[in-house]
Structure 1
Amino acid sequence: MTKSILFILILFFFFTYANSQQSQLYNEEHEILMKIKKHFQNPLFLSHWNSSKTSYHCSYPEITCTNDDSITSLSMINTNLTQTLPPFLCELKNLTYIDFQLNYIPNEFPTSLYNCSKLQHLDLSQNYFVGNIPNDIDKLANLQFLSLAANSFSGDIPMSIGNLKNLKRLELYQCLFNGTIPDEIGNLSNLETLLMFSYSMLPRTKLPSSFTKLKNLRIFDMHDSNLVGEIPETIGEMMALEDLDLSGNFLSGKIPNGLFILKNLSRLILYNNSLSGDIPDVVEAFELTTLDLSYNHLTGKIPDDFGNIKKLKYLALFTNRLSGKVPESIGNLPTLTDFIVFQNNLSGNLPQGFGKFSKLETFQIASNSFNGKLPQNLCYHGRLVGLTAYDNNLSGELPKSLGSCSSLQYLRLENNEFSGEIPNGLWTSMYLTTIRISENMFTGQLPDRLARNLSELAVSHNRFSGTIPNGVSSWKKLVKFNASNNFFNGSIPSELASLPQLETLLLDQNQLTGQIPTDITSWKSLVTLNLSHNQLSGKIPDAICRLPSLSVLDLSENKISGRIPPQLSLRLTNLNLSSNYLIGRIPSDFENLAYESSFLNNSGLCVDKLVLNLALCNSGTARRRRGDSSMSKALVVILVVVASLTVFLALFLSISFYRKRKRLMKRTWKLTSFQRLSFTKSNIVSSMSEHNIIGSGGFGSVYRVAVEGLGYVAVKKIRGNSRKLDQKLVDSFLAEVEILSKIRHNNIVKLMCCISSDDSLLLVYEYHEHQSLDRWLHKKSKSPAVSGIVNGNIIDWPKRLHIAIGAAQGLCYMHNDCSPPIVHRDVKTSNILLDSQFNAKVADFGLARILVKPEELATMSAVAGTFGYIAPEYAQTIRVNEKIDAYSFGVVLLELTTGKEANHGDEYSSLAEWAWRHIQIGTNIEELLDDDAMEPTNLEEMCSIFKLGVMCTSTLPASRPSMKEVLKVLTGCKDPLANAEKIVDIYDSAPLLKNLKWEKQLEFSA
């Protein structure tokens, strides 16, 4: 009995002691949490961390505890932390899990973490860490997960990482490593995931052969990492490999035979390398769902064994040199959704099974030599989104099934031998945005109704007939209408002039009669109007002079009579009124040699100066003299009236300003901060006035507001009417806030906060005293401080190159380092801001959209952007991706090298087309460069960057380099020894400059 009591007492003692120890540990850890909160300066998101001992910290969402209430996990993700990690963090002795990703944590890697002896999971990704990863990082011996990705770590990746034997996942992507990749990583025998992609600063290096010893590795991603040489044959020994991405490198040689016998491989991406030779014939990787070998130099045939990969969904082989027929078995694959083989040398008839056995979504076979008919069941399952088959030898009628394909979004069949009529239902397919069927032998008439979302209709060089239907008024979203060279007759319906979004109208080379519609005020977006080679009569409408965007006007070869409207705009870059019945004096602004071929074969026209090859007018000078006296009297009256109105207007504006300011202060404002602020919302709102406006854009004005501690901030105000904002402006505002509050990069403008009320939206950015690039490049400011002059000198080429590199780095981050990737959609010189050191900051994300899936393209519902910078496919709202930004950035490069503006052109409509034309006709590039920036020492460099700009503005998105490739060329220019090699490599890797004439034929045929 005594022993039992003694035993119970001992148990009670130990139980009491244990509880006491547990309670003591809990209290100690609670105190540490309060120290952590204080270290981070008591941020708002930790307001629930209560110092009271009654606060149960194991319930905090940032904390995970064991059953005995000891803290094992600490997680603060995307919480805007800007301080270093607390050096006492590891006083929480049982920590196994630390996650501080997506913050602004600065300084070098915190070696104080070595004191976390039990640490298994460490995630410090997407912060502002700098310096080298320490060589003794292997002191964290228990780590199973390590992510230091998307920081500014540089130097070598330390060999000691290879000693972390327990690692299962290693993420070192998107850093600034500029040293070596250690072979020792191949010693991580337990590693299952290795992410080491996007190393733009890494010297060119071979893929370490030791990596193929990672027998447990399932996911291996090293895309865009400057890899060269061949893929090791031993990669076929990595039997656990499921996902391999080596795209965007400089790999060469053949694809190893062993790669296609990996039994577990489900995703293989070797896109955009320099791989050559035949694709291996023996294919046993039957688990493959995604196979992308595009944009290489592969030759030979598509292996028959591809038809045995029954799980294959995505097959991309475009832009290679493949030849022969497509194996019949590929058309019978049961899961195939995307078949993309454009720009090859493939030929023969297409397998008729395509679409019947699988839910086909994308079928892209353009720029090959296919003949015969299209497969009849492409939309059998009603899932087909895109069909591009242009530049082939295909013939016959279109499949009837396309008429009921309600999922179809874009159709491109230009330059084939198709005939017959278009299936009725195809014209009105619900989601269709693009029909391009030019250069075929189609017949029939245009329908009254078109798809409600159709933005481009190109039917030129066919055999369509009849009238242009009056129902054209329902084509509200049409942006481009090209019906040139057909057999259309009758008059141009007035309903056609009611289309508000129309930018291009080409009706030349038809049999149209009657007059040009006079009520064309809705054509505010019209850039190109070509009605030549018809039988039109009547006068040139005066309203044509008031079209604000018109750049190209061709009315030649008609029966138009009367006088040329004197207000005809000099904004026209291409004017042709030849071969008509026009009479009278040519407006004096056109009396120069630039228009010498614009007025030919009009016997009734005359000029005051003998410049153009036309007759002189006789009495014009005398009439002008008689009018001088009356004009002088009228001028005095006008000046008196104007002076009176000016005084009245000044008084009115002063009263309005004070009333407006009073209303502003009465509103209820809400401030959403994205960082620590030294100002309040009232500081901003009360300081916005007309005198500190520094710019304006499509959505409102930009103010420079003085704030304590920062000097100035820039405030972008989204304007609306007095009661409520337009929903499109609100959507744009929310898009910019959503994007800028998440992304962090030195070359992307920093959003400090947003301020909103019921009828106003404000974005507050850091202020950049040098403002936007266009002000410097094109001298758009009257201020000496912003006039293209730096310390008495024009902006030189090194500064321009520095700006280009900075902007490219910002776009690369958006495209490659953000998940999901972000497309800006409005890259231009006015959206590139410059700080005091001329570092570039990409700005204005009001048009940006986040892509839903990185591997997919997103369909945009409306056209946005700025004329001169818009990629061809985006102007027609085809599905868009990052390549539209590459196009716009190419225009920026052309501006930097030529000094000309984006809408510059002679007989063509933009700087990009002007540059393409000069390249095509063989103009010496040196003659096109900006004299203000050109020096003998940088001439070759400027020529190379000009060519790069031309490459970026290729008509075909697939022919444009990615922003990662663009950055490689730009940064290569800083290294004279590497420059030539990098330029040659990227030009050799893309067939663009070898096919310039072919490219422009493709564009003009559209």
Structure 2
Amino acid sequence: MIDIPSKFPFFVLFFLHLFSLPFPVNSQSINQEETILLKLKQQWNNPPSISSWNTSKYCNWTGVTCTDNSITGLTLSNINITDKIPPFICDLENLTHINLSFNYIPGEFPKAFYNCSKLQTLDLSQNYFVGPIPADISRLSTTLQSLNLQANNFSGDIPASLGNLPYLKQLFLTQNQFNATFARDIGNLSNLEELGIANNSFLPWEIPKEFSKLKKLRYLFMANTNLIGEIPIEIGELFDLERLDLSRNTLTGEIPDSLFLLKNLTYFSLYENELSGEIPKNIETMKLVEIDLSVNELIGTIPEGFGKCQHLMYFQLFSNRLSGEIPASIGQIPSLIGTRLFKNNLSGILPPEFGLHSMLEEFEVNENQFTGNLPESLCARGVLVGLVAFSNQLTGGLPKSFENCSSLSAVQLYNSRFLGEVPVGFWSLKNLSVVIISDNAFYGELPKRLSMSLLQLEISNNRFSGRIPSTISSLLVFKASNNLFAGEIPQVLGSEGGLLTVLDLSNNRLSGAIPPEIWGLNLAWLNLSSNKFTGRIPVGLDNSVYDKSFLNNKGLCGRNLRSNCISKPQLLPMILVPSGAILLAVFLALFAFKCHQRRMHGGDLSSYKLTYFQKVDFTISNILSNLTENNLIGSGGSGKVYRVETNRSSVAVKKIFKYAYTTRLTEKIDVYSFGVVLLELVIGREAKKGDEHTCLAEWAWRMFQEGNVIDSALDEDVKKPCFLDEMRLVFRLGLMCTGTRPQVGLPWKLYCKFFSLAL
């Protein structure tokens, strides 16, 4: 038996008291950490999100994690940090976790983190970092397990030194601007479980075979990284792989059989590459949730083995060259949500059990060669949102069950062979927003009330009949050409709040007047041609913008149609007013001409126009000197012909009367001469003095065709504001009379039209 001294209880109490006393070292450490945090807050301009950082216990501050009263973690995500990371951040000696994601931190990679010797997790994602990753990044803590730099602006190479972080499990470099090479040394990270480098513009590169050493890899994201070449069969040796994304690259060759033997694979995407050959038939990926092999050059049939993937939710093989039928087992998968098989050469009937066993939401099989009917059970679970099956050989009508498919939002069945009446309840489905069923053989009438959610309705090239319902005013797009609709366009179509931007009712049997309210719509497209409309085109639509919108409506009249809208009571003033104006203009022109004759003096200022038909050996002076009455050969209404003698030959020269080049007019004033006089009156120049090279008429026409303002050509001496309208009118009439092909007289209708518009 051990003899315990009687003073033992005293020593026990003494030591208990001693250990209960605070030590000065711990107190100093606490003060230092608090000081560093407050200094950080000040460095980052006191973000409101960390306003709790004050003199209270710092382990309770926002974003601060403590272990044994020492700071081990900073989670300061999305707190609006806009300044650089200060070098003293690693004075917090026990930091193991730093998360500064979703901020606005600028600058290059902060080498200050090299001093965080215990760091295990560093998340700098979603910031504004730039420049290359430092070549000596391996100076980060050797205990680092997770490095997240995604969604920044890092560029250059992926440094080989990253392969010297032996305990790294997660490496995320996705969505940066890396534009050089990718280090194969990453294959040395034997503990790596997740690698994300997607959405970077590396130089063209192949998947390194060294990746086969990453035996613990579970996630591999390499989408949109400029990969080329074939997929190494060694990737099929990564047995722990759960998610594999190699989409949006330029991979070629066939899909390795080994990839479909990865029993832990849940997500698999080879979307948008240049892969060829058949899909491997041996499917052992029973845990597969989503597969996307779309936009490649795959051929052959869809493997029956996909039907064994009972967890499959999204099945996407669109835009390939697959043929044959869809295996019936695909329609029996209990977890299937989305099926996208469009743009292939698939044929046969659609498995009738689609939608019966699963919560099917999306069914897209357009642009194939399917026949038969749509599966009646597509909306059996009441969750179908989108049905896209256009451009097939499908027949029959819409499934009757669609009347109760309240989830349905978009239906596109155009360019097929569907027929029959559309179930009445279909039109009023509460979530229905897009219906495109053109180019089929549907018939029947549209109901008076359409779904309030419906925005786009395209039913052209069918056999719908009856009246157009007034509720189409709530649509954005309504295309119903080539049907059998009759009656009038609803008056409320253009009422306030109307949303229509596209309206096509061409080739129907619609009649009556076109509602003027249509003008109030913001229409980007309007076609009402080939109907039986009558009356006048609404004023706002009677212009060149809609010049082809009303063709082949014999009862319509308008400015751009052959049928004008002049009624008999309007005809008399339409004739009398222009006629009186013309007579007045002629009288003024004659009066001005007489005054013009009296003030002109001098010799014959006639100009001559010579047309050379062959090379001659005499000059214009030789010709002008021989234009005398002694050499006259003949004369007529359009000019005189003279004999011109030279030393070697003789030639006949015709002197043409063209009043645009003369200031003398015969008493017989033709239309051209009348126009010249009008131009002289308002321009204030003589007929042959348009400018240095042209006559007056040519000069005036050139001014007009070049888009110059008429007012700039008018005579400054008489151009007064009170006369401007009249002077512009005379100028325009002068242009009409001096056109490039003047006639003996302008048609009376043209005068009437001109003056009716001008007055």
Check whether the contact 1:311–1:334 (CA below 8 A) recurs between aligned residues: yes
User: How many angstroms does 1:6 deviate by?
Assistant: 4.5
CA shift at 1:582, angstroms?
Answer: 3.4
Aligned to 1:37: 41
Equivalent residue runs for 1:160-309 within 5 Å: 160-200=161-201, 202-309=202-309
1:11–1:158 distance in 2 versus 1, CA, 3 Å:
farther
Aligned 8 A contact 2:492 2:517 in 1: no
Residues 1:475 and 1:556: Cα distance change in structure 2 (over 3 Å) = closer
Alpha carbons of structure 1 residues 265 and 551: separation in structure 2 relative to 1, 3 Å: farther
Q: 1:136 to 1:15 in 2, by over 3 A?
A: farther
Measured in 2, the distance between the counterparts of 1:89 and 1:220 equals 32
Query: Is 1:16 matched with 2:17?
Result: no
The corresponding residue for 1:560 is: 555
Name the SS of the counterpart of 1:170 in structure 2: strand
- Report the counterpart of residue 581 of structure 1 in structure 2: 563
CA distance in 2, matches of 1:534, 1:475: 19
Q: Partners in 1 of 2:403 and 2:518 — Cα distance?
A: 33
User: Partner amino acid for 2:487?
Assistant: G
In structure 1, the partner of 2:515 is: 517
Q: In the TM superposition, what is the alpha-carbon distance from 1:563 to its structure 2 partner? A: 4.2
Residue in 2 that maps onto 1:320: 320
- Deviations along 1:527-571, one digit per CA (max 9) or x if unpaired, are 222111122222212243599xx667511111134442xxxxxxx
* Total equivalences in the alignment: 573
Aligned twin of 2:449? 449
* 8 Å Cα contact 1:560/1:582 also seen in 2: no
- Residue 505 of structure 2 contacts residue 527 of structure 2 at CA under 8 Å; is this kept in 1? yes
Change (3 A) 1:443 1:171: same
Residue deviations 1:835-886, cap 9 Å, x none?
A: xxxxxxxxxxxxxxxxxxxxxxxxxxxxxxxxxxxxxxxxxxxxxxxxxxxx
Alignment correspondent of 1:814: none
**Structure (1 or 2) with the larger CA radius of gyration:** 2
Residue 220 of structure 1: CA displacement? 1.5
CA distance in 1, matches of 2:453, 2:462: 23
Contact map agreement 1:189 1:214 (CA 8 A) in 2: yes
Aligned to 2:311: 311
User: 1:566-623: per-residue Cα shift (whole Å, max 9, x none)?
Assistant: xxxxxxxxxxx56x633679xxxxxxxxxxxxxxxxxxxxxxxxxxxxxxx9999767
Residue 60 of structure 1: how far off its partner (Å) = 0.2
- How far has the Cα of 1:76 moved from its partner? 1.8
Q: Find the aligned partners of 2:558 and 2:419 in 1 and give their Cα distance.
A: 43
Q: Which amino acid aligns with 2:300?
A: G
Deviations 1:234-285 (A, max 9, x none): 1111111111111111111111111111111111121111111111111110
With over 3 angstroms needed to count, the CA separation of the structure-2 counterparts of 1:331 and 1:166, relative to structure 1, is same
How much has 1:625 moved relative to structure 2?
Answer: 6.1
Alignment partner for residue 474 of structure 1, among 471, 476, 489? 471
What whole-Å deviation, never above 9, does each CA across 1:413-472 have from its counterpart, x for those lacking one?
Answer: 11111111111111111100111111111111111111111111111111122222xxx2
Displacement of 1:128 after TM fit? 2.2
Distance in 1 (CA, whole Å) between partners of 2:211 and 2:288 is: 22
Instruction: Give the deviation of 1:41 after TM superposition.
Output: 3.6
Q: Secondary structure at the match of 1:138?
A: helix
* 8 Å CA contact retained: 2:103, 2:126: yes
In structure 2, the CA distance between the partners of 1:90 and 1:558, relative to structure 1 (3 Å rule), is: same
- Letter matched to residue 174 of structure 2: Y
Gaps of 5+ in 2: 568-573, 586-759
Letter in 1 for 2:40: I
Aligned twin of 2:755: none
Higher RCO (CA < 8 A, seq sep 6+): 1
Shift of the 441–90 alpha-carbon distance from structure 1 to 2, 3 Å rule, reads same
Taking structure 1 as the reference length, the TM-score comes to 0.55
Summarize the alignment of residues 331-350 of structure 1 with structure 2, pairs less than 5 Å apart: 331-350=331-350
Aligned partner of 1:777 in structure 2 is none
Q: Which amino acid in structure 1 is aligned with residue 549 of structure 2?
A: D
Q: Deviations over 1:375-430 (max 9, x none)?
A: 11111111110111111111122211112211110111111111111111111111
- Give the residue type in structure 2 aligned to 1:438: S
| CA distance in 2 between partners of 1:79 and 1:625 (Å) | 81
Correspondence 1:434-833 to 2 at 5 A? 434-468=434-468, 472-498=469-495, 500-523=498-521, 525-545=522-542, 553-564=548-559, 581-582=563-564
AA at the equivalent of 1:187:
N
The answer to whether the 8 Å contact 2:341/2:365 transfers is yes
Distance 1:439 1:40 in 2: 63
Whole-angstrom CA distance in 1 between matches of 2:143 and 2:102: 24
Aligned partners of 1:444 and 1:86: how far apart in 2? 74
Task: Supply the distance in 2 between the matched residues of 1:436 and 1:343 (Cα, whole angstroms).
Answer: 18
1:802-951 equivalent positions in 2, closer than 5 A: none
Change in 2 beyond 3 A, CA 1:45/1:464? closer
**CA separation of 1:79/1:551 partners in 2, compared to 1, >3 Å: closer, same or farther?**
farther
Q: Distance in 2 between matches of 1:287 and 1:116?
A: 41
Deviates more, 1:328-337 or 1:27-36: 27-36
Q: C-alpha separation between the residues in 2 aligned to 1:344 and 1:620?
A: 70
Per-residue CA deviation, residues 322-351 of structure 1 (Å, 9 max, x unaligned), is 111111111111111111111111111111
Sort the Cα spacing of 1:176 and 1:511 in 2 relative to 1 into closer, same or farther, 3 A: same
Distance change (3 Å), C-alpha of 1:160 and 1:481: same
Q: Following the alignment from structure 1 to structure 2, what is the Cα–Cα distance between the partners of residues 377 and 38?
A: 64
Gaps of 5+ in 1: 565-576, 586-616, 629-1006
Q: 1:7 to 1:294 in 2, by over 3 A?
A: same
Q: Is the 8 A contact 1:49 1:57 kept in 2?
A: yes
Deviation at 1:9, TM superposition (A): 3.8
Q: Do 1:216 and 1:238's aligned partners in 2 also have CA atoms closer than 8 Å?
A: yes
Aligned-pair distance for 1:474?
2.8
The answer to whether the 8 Å contact 2:542/2:558 transfers is no
Secondary structure class of the residue paired with 2:82: coil
SS of 1:180's equivalent in the other structure is strand
What CA distance in whole angstroms lies between the structure 2 residues aligned with 1:14 and 1:627?
124
| Matched residue SS, 1:465 | strand
Residue 620 and residue 297 in structure 1: after superposition, are their counterparts in 2 closer, same or farther (change >3 A)? farther
Structure 2 partner of 1:142 = 143
More displaced stretch, 496-505 vs 70-79: 496-505
Aligned counterparts of 1:7 and 1:164: Cα–Cα separation in 2: 49
Task: Give 3-state SS (helix, strand or coil) of 1:481's partner.
Answer: strand
Query: Structure 1: how far apart are the matches of 2:161 and 2:326?
Result: 49
Partners of 2:584 and 2:345 in 1: how far apart? 71
Amino acid at match of 2:186: I
| Cα pair distance change 1:519/1:123, threshold 3 Å | closer
Q: How do 1:953-992 residues align onto structure 2 when only pairs under 5 Å count?
A: none
Relative distance call for 1:477 and 1:256 in structure 2 (3 A) is farther
**Is contact 1:518–1:541 with CA below 8 Å preserved after alignment?**
yes
Amino acid at match of 2:482: N
CA-based RMSD: 2.5
Identity %: 46
1:157 matched to which residue of 2?
158
C-alpha distance in 2 between matches for 1:262 and 1:255: 13
Question: Residue 354 and residue 106 in structure 1: after superposition, are their counterparts in 2 closer, same or farther (change >3 A)?
Answer: same
